[in-house]
Structure 1
Amino acid sequence: MRTSIFVEPHRGASYDDQLRLAHAVEALGFEGLLRADHYQSMGDVDGLPGPTDAWLTLAALSRETSRIRLGTLVTSATFRPPGPLAIMAAQVDQMSGGRLDLGIGAGWYEREHLSYGLPFPPTAERFDRLEEQLAILTGLWSTPVGQTFDHQGRYWTLTGAPALPKPLQQPGPPLIVGGKGARRTPELAARYATEFNMPFRSVTETARAFERVRAVSAQSGRAASGRAPLVLSAGIVVAIGRTDAEAARRAAPLHAKSALPPEEPVVGSPGLLVDRIAEFAGIGAARVHLRLSDLTDLDQLELIATEVLPHIADLQPTSDTTSPA
């Protein structure tokens, strides 16, 4: 089982906080560290010391780590035009030695758009823009060196783009597309993504989402085109402890509204988390993203590393993930 840590720095974290976490994640044997891409905290959280930009942070962390994968879960397509985003992601991929995972979504939190003067079109248009962004990102990265890329779309026109720099990973960094949407999300994942992620939902709801994306992938002819099956991943909100009191203390912040509201968080012993991860493996998940509410709580991170990782290392997806995912 591939196991990454996910955090929400917009709720209040400095770069130094994130650097300490990244070093711990790497030292303790996790596969990766992914962060949200938001510019404002939610609910009653004061958000101090303020947000940090996801891509500035990833660029810095890419030079201060050597092994873990780094990425967004997920970058908002409303924040950045696709051309500059393609350049940013390619550069971070080079800077990290090919360790970038790019999660990208349509954007949803209207308040931060209003706060910082970012356009926030209706839902259907945001998904249309996301689809066009994915086409441009993959088009720029796959254009051979020495050739240019053109795109005439509804929202963006690119003329004679040099399509540089190229990411180190080819044909590009793994793309993560996910969410509970029943139609557009599975279609976009099947067409463009390397990984489909169901963020922080129950095993039952995640299983339904996995089945939808499998069906759409089969209908789209993904396997016939020679593309690898989608990696299926699940998000789990975690508040575990050595005692019930310790777990309850860590669970206290879960009442606050999060960028990805939790459903069925794991609150309790490390064994409960092992069992939940096994359940997700049983429906086909090959990767889990563990969301920690307090990214300065390195003691919980160490507890997961010592009491959970050894018990899930050999877990394999038991659903039929060899067919088109």
Structure 2
Amino acid sequence: MTESLHITDLRIFTEPQQGASYDDLLRVAQRAEELGYGAFFRSDHYLVMGDGDGLPGPTDAWITLAGLARDTSTIRLGTLVSSATFRQPGPLAISVAQVDQMSGGRVDLGLGAGWFTAEHEAYGIPFPELGERFDRLEEQLELITGMWATPLGETYSKPGGYYSITDSPALPKPVQSAPPIVIGGGGPKRTPALAAKYAAEFNTPFVSREFFVEQTDRVRAACEAIDRNPDELVYSAALIVCVGADENEVERRAAALGREPGELRENGLCGTPAEVAERMRSWRDAGAERLYLQVMDLADLDHLDVIANDVMAELS
């Protein structure tokens, strides 16, 4: 290991489709900002997964981030990840650019092909076959980055494909020259190729360290195949987190998630601060430069404090 993780290398990741209002998310984002975390991210889903009623119902990712752009001041904001099936590329480019302006240049765009069939059926969203979804994702990445890169006063056109664009003014422009794009997943070919071409960051969600290493090696190879320096990308992982000052607190937080501490230790970042710090070091040693901490109990703001104070003390 060449360096330790800093608090800014840790990003809070929420799943509001499981049941959260804007105010719930705002409290978490503001506490994360106060504690110095690097970013507040949210999923982009419209339907609860597994047990639960999802009340008060889904919130739209980019409407949420627009609100947070004005209700926070320093923390970065983004999606892990928006689905290409949910939005047309032109309006999505507008939304992300506007939220970037509203935040003063603090937005990352995570974009993926989409996978959750039931939410598409529940809200009348077309859900094509996997190959077409990846084709659409690739085209959206080309169009969104193309519109952002179009100089002021010029227009952007891209005929053909699923989304034909003619003489777009390609406005508005984001504050950042191009908001960082996060691409992730476990596909062996197209995912690494898209990451190599378009991403500033590659993320693996909820996989083992061994698979993380295999997949990031594929991304690095895909970069080299197009003469891009693989070190230009940030390599990150998303993992569920459950930390307690002692074993009783670990068990209490695990029970609140409806999961067992042993299973969480095996599949995530779970345990006492010393245990979790050691687990984070192992991910850093595997090449993870950034960790997304999946926080499921949004009412437990003290959980963020334990990580920021006790785990970081162990890491330092």
Is TM > 0.5 for Structure 1 vs Structure 2?
A: yes
- The Cα of 1:228 is off from its aligned counterpart by 6.2
Aligned-partner Cα distance in 2 for 1:198–1:282: 16
- The Cα of 1:119 is off from its aligned counterpart by 0.3
Structure 2 equivalent of residue 98 of structure 1: 105
Structure 2 equivalent of residue 193 of structure 1: 199
1:302 aligns with 2:309: no
Which of 290, 294, 298 is the matching residue for 1:291?
A: 294
Structure 2 equivalent of residue 20 of structure 1: 27
Structure 2 equivalent of residue 222 of structure 1: 228
Structure 2 equivalent of residue 231 of structure 1: 234
1:184 aligns with 2:169: no
Structure 1 equivalent of residue 149 of structure 2: 142
Which secondary structure does the structure 2 equivalent of 1:308 belong to?
Answer: helix
Q: Which is further off, 227-236 or 159-168? A: 227-236
1:73 aligns with 2:80: yes
Q: Which residue identity lines up with residue 93 of structure 1 in the other structure? A: D
- The Cα of 1:137 is off from its aligned counterpart by 0.5
Q: Which residue identity lines up with residue 290 of structure 2 in the other structure? A: R
CA RMSD for the aligned pairs? Answer: 1.7
Which of 5, 23, 38 is the matching residue for 2:45?
A: 38
| Runs of 5+ unmatched residues, structure 1 | 314-325
Q: Which residue identity lines up with residue 184 of structure 2 in the other structure? A: G
Q: Which residue identity lines up with residue 146 of structure 1 in the other structure? A: G
Does the 8 A contact of 1:238 with 1:292 survive in 2? yes
- The Cα of 1:262 is off from its aligned counterpart by 11
Instruction: Give per-residue Cα distances to partners, 1:264-298, cap 9 Å, x unaligned.
Output: 12221112221121111112211111111112210
Aligned-partner Cα distance in 1 for 2:103–2:123: 29
| Runs of 5+ unmatched residues, structure 2 | none
- The Cα of 1:263 is off from its aligned counterpart by 6.9
4+ residue stretches of structure 1 with deviation over 6 A?
none
Q: TM-score, normalised by structure 2?
A: 0.93
Q: 1:229 to 1:74 in 2, by over 3 A?
A: same
Which secondary structure does the structure 2 equivalent of 1:218 belong to?
Answer: helix
Aligned-partner Cα distance in 2 for 1:269–1:228: 33
1:59 aligns with 2:66: yes
Q: 1:133 to 1:263 in 2, by over 3 A?
A: farther
Q: Which is further off, 199-208 or 69-78? A: 199-208
Aligned-partner Cα distance in 2 for 1:255–1:128: 38
Does the 8 A contact of 1:200 with 1:263 survive in 2? no
Q: Within 5 Å, which residues of 2 pair with 1:142-181?
A: 142-170=149-177, 172-181=178-187
Q: Which residue identity lines up with residue 67 of structure 1 in the other structure? A: T
Aligned-partner Cα distance in 1 for 2:232–2:266: 27
Instruction: Give per-residue Cα distances to partners, 1:175-220, cap 9 Å, x unaligned.
Output: 0000111111100000000000011211111111111111111112
Q: Which is further off, 126-135 or 40-49? A: 40-49
Does the 8 A contact of 1:236 with 1:266 survive in 2? yes
Instruction: Give per-residue Cα distances to partners, 1:116-160, cap 9 Å, x unaligned.
Output: 000000011101100000000100000000000001232000000
Q: Which residue identity lines up with residue 52 of structure 2 in the other structure? A: V
Q: TM-score, normalised by structure 1?
A: 0.90
Instruction: Give per-residue Cα distances to partners, 1:155-174, cap 9 Å, x unaligned.
Output: 0000000000000001x100
1:276 aligns with 2:279: yes
Q: Which residue identity lines up with residue 112 of structure 2 in the other structure? A: G
Does the 8 A contact of 1:70 with 1:100 survive in 2? yes
Aligned-partner Cα distance in 2 for 1:147–1:99: 26
Give me the identity figure in percent.
Answer: 53
Structure 1 equivalent of residue 214 of structure 2: 208
Aligned-partner Cα distance in 2 for 1:309–1:74: 27
Structure 2 equivalent of residue 128 of structure 1: 135
Aligned-partner Cα distance in 2 for 1:144–1:262: 49
1:11 aligns with 2:21: no
Q: 1:168 to 1:92 in 2, by over 3 A?
A: same
Structure 2 equivalent of residue 322 of structure 1: none
Does the 8 A contact of 1:232 with 1:285 survive in 2? yes
Aligned-partner Cα distance in 2 for 1:70–1:111: 27
Structure 2 equivalent of residue 246 of structure 1: 249
Aligned-partner Cα distance in 1 for 2:241–2:24: 19
